Every structure is written in structure tokens, then in C-alpha cells.
């Protein structure tokens, strides 16, 4: 993986990354975390965000593997990685904002989500209520809507969050953060991470040009394989960086006991990916408790 004199062999850290991912999942599921446990809905929300992130990470790694074990796999599949990377980025944004004010933001998240699901249900019900084929599905959805309203405490939080106060998209989260350091960090992520991934996901000009150029270029460029390999490597490093950032945020907020593992992995990939090194030095080195010259994005 990578090009030039320094080629990164992912297998050197693959088992460490796998153990970190599994340990984080297990600790969130099985261990008590007082900061999460005292707020209704906090533990399942944070654990769900990590679960989805871990699945997206594994999917990126599968698409970007250089293994020939699957004859149906094509190197160009790596071009489809950015939307999955944006899942990781969205999760990181949400975790940072949630912990800005956990007691307020957890019910805000669930209330906004419940309203969105209810609107969707009412659209289905209005269109298909006279269709016998939809009777069972609508009843099933209605039961879920009613049970989640109770389990998520929506009846109380509806009074706190008006209907126009939606949980923000990642690009708008810097404005929602109250802590100046978190606001600065979210703006940093928006500029350096979210913007390019959003462009590739929505296929705006830069994103479409980047993705399509690889698909059209095979057979026309002498160094096509090298360029695609570099692009693939970049996707892998971004996946690793975002996964480590998510686990680092959770380590700082709920004390998972994984700081040493994280520091080791940050330093390893930082030797090959400037974005990872920059993020570690600017935010996580100090937050994880390791000596540094100071953190700009704490």
C-alpha cells in the first residue's frame, strides 16, 4: 500500500486494528460507563454510532484490499469508498457534538430522529392505508413508532425541542457546538475531511471528476495502476484516521482504557499519512495523555 520509497504494509497493524475495533465494541456493550448510563438513550446511541462506523470501516477495507482471493473483485471498487468514509466522518461529527452537552444533545438527537420517522410513516399511511398489501407493514411501523416514542422519552423532550429544531447535518454542526475548542475542531474537520468526502458522495464537480477520471482512464494512461494504487491507499489511510479519531473521542469521553493502543496506532500511520499525523498532534496526543508541545484543537 502506498507508493514511493516508503510503502506501508497494512498487515503490520491489521491485527492491532481488529483488536481495537472489537475491544471498543465490547467495552461499550458490556462495561458500565457512568457518564452514559445516567442519561436515558445515551449508551445505545453512542454504541450504535460506533457499530455503524465499524461496519463502514470494514467495508472500505474490503473494497480497497489488494488481495486476489476474490476473483470478482476489481481494483476500481476502491473508487466507491468515499460515501462509506463519509459515514465514518458523520459519526465522528455526531460524537463530538453529542459530548458538547450530552444531557441536552442526546434527547435532541432522538427527538429529531423520531419526528423524521413519524413523518415518513404518515406519508406511507396516507398513500397506502386502503391497500391490503400494506396493512401488516403499516401496523408494524405504527407499533414501532409508538414504542419508540415511549422508550426514547419523546413525550418529554418534544416540549424542549420544537419541530424546526432538527438535529443538524455534519456541515452545520460547528455552528451548533457551544465549546469553542469543539467548534474549532469541527470546523477543521469540515474543511479538511467532510468537504472532499461530501463532494465525492454527492458527485459535485470535483467529486465526479475524480471518480470518473479513473473509470475512463484505464487503457489511456501508462501509469494508471500506480495512480489508482495511490488513490486506494489514500482511502485506506482516511478510513484508519477516522476510525482512530472516533475511538479516541470515546476514550477521552468515557474512559475505555485504550489510550496506549491508540497512541501506538496513531504514530504508526502518522509516518505515512500527513492528515493522520496532523490530527493526532493537533488534538489527540494531548487529550490521550501523552506529552506534546500543546494541542490546538482540544
Confidence (pLDDT) at 108: 95
pLDDT band at 4 (very low <50, low <70, confident <90, very high): very low
Tens-digit pLDDT profile for residues 219-269: 777 788 888 899 999 999 999 999 999 999 999 999 999 999 999 999 999
Q: Which of 256, 251, 254, 243 is nearest to 288 (CA)?
A: 251
Dig out the grid coordinates for 180 from the structure.
469553542
Confidence (pLDDT) at 292: 63
Q: Is the pLDDT of residue 70 over 80?
A: no
Confidence (pLDDT) at 1: 54
What is the distance between the alpha carbons of residues 164 and 166, in angstroms, rounded to a whole number?
6
Q: Is the pLDDT of residue 2 over 70?
A: no
Q: Which of 113, 201, 196 is nearest to 157 (CA)?
A: 113
Confidence (pLDDT) at 204: 85
Instruction: Give mean pLDDT, residues 147-167.
Output: 84
Confidence (pLDDT) at 294: 47
Instruction: Give mean pLDDT, residues 74-98.
Output: 95
Q: Which residue has the higher pLDDT, 141 or 298?
A: 141
Confidence (pLDDT) at 174: 96
Mean pLDDT, the chain, integer: 90
Residue with cell 474537520: 189
Record the pTM: 0.91
Residue with cell 415518513: 120
Residue with cell 438535529: 167
Instruction: Give mean pLDDT, residues 56-73.
Output: 84
Confidence (pLDDT) at 36: 96
Confidence (pLDDT) at 5: 42
CA distances from 190 to 28, 87, 90, 99 (A): 27, 14, 10, 18
Q: Which of 101, 111, 105 is nearest to 151 (CA)?
A: 111
Instruction: Give mean pLDDT, residues 67-93.
Output: 88
Please provide the DSSP assignment of the chain as one string: ---SS----THHHHHHHHHHHHHHHHHHHHS--HHHHTSTTHHHHHHHHHHHHHHHHHHHHHHT----S-TT--GGGGGGHHHHHHHHHHHHHHHHHHTTSHHHHHHHHHHHHHHHHHHHHHHHHHHHTT-GGGHHHHHHHHHHHHHHHHHTTHHHHTTTS-TT-PPPPGGGHHHH--SHHHHHHHHHHIIIIIHHHHHHHHT-HHHHHHHHHHHHHTTT-TTHHHHHHHHHHHHHHHHHHHHHHHHHHHHHHH--S-HHHHHHHHHHHHTT-HHHHHHIIIIIHHHTT---S--S--
Q: Which residue has the higher pLDDT, 197 or 259?
A: 259
Amino acid at each position: 500500500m502506498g507508493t514511493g520509497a516508503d510503502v506501508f504494509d497494512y498487515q503490520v497493524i491489521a491485527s492491532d486494528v481488529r483488536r481495537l475495533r472489537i475491544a471498543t465494541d465490547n467495552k461499550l456493550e458490556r462495561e458500565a460507563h457512568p457518564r452514559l448510563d445516567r442519561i436515558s438513550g445515551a449508551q445505545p446511541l453512542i454504541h450504535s454510532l460506533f457499530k455503524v462506523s465499524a461496519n463502514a470501516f470494514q467495508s472500505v477495507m474490503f473494497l480497497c484490499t489488494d488481495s486476489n482471493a476474490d476473483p470478482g473483485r476489481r481494483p476500481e471498487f476502491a473508487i466507491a469508498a468515499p460515501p462509506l468514509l463519509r459515514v465514518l466522518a458523520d459519526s465522528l461529527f455526531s460524537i463530538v457534538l453529542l459530548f458538547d452537552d450530552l444531557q441536552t444533545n442526546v434527547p435532541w438527537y432522538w427527538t429529531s430522529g423520531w419526528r423524521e420517522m413519524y413523518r415518513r410513516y404518515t406519508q406511507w399511511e396516507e398513500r397506502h392505508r386502503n391497500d391490503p398489501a400494506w396493512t401488516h407493514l403499516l401496523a408494524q411501523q405504527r407499533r414501532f413508532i409508538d414504542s419508540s416514542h415511549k422508550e426514547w422519552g419523546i413525550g418529554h423532550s418534544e416540549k424542549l425541542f420544537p419541530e424546526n429544531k432538527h438535529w443538524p447535518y455534519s456541515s452545520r454542526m460547528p455552528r451548533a457546538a457551544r465549546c469553542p475548542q469543539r467548534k474549532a475542531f469541527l470546523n477543521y474537520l469540515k474543511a479538511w475531511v467532510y468537504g472532499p468526502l461530501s463532494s465525492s458522495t454527492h458527485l459535485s464537480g470535483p467529486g465526479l471528476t475524480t471518480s470518473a477520471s479513473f473509470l475512463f482512464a484505464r487503457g489511456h494512461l501508462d501509469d494508471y495502476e500506480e495512480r489508482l494504487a495511490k488513490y486506494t491507499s489514500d482511502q485506506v489511510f482516511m478510513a484508519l484516521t477516522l476510525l482512530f479519531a472516533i475511538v479516541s473521542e470515546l476514550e477521552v469521553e468515557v474512559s475505555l482504557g485504550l489510550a496506549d493502543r491508540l497512541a501506538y496506532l496513531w504514530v504508526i500511520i502518522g509516518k505515512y499519512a500527513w492528515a493522520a499525523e496532523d490530527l493526532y498532534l493537533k488534538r489527540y496526543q494531548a487529550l490521550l495523555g501523552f506529552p506534546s508541545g500543546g494541542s490546538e484543537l482540544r
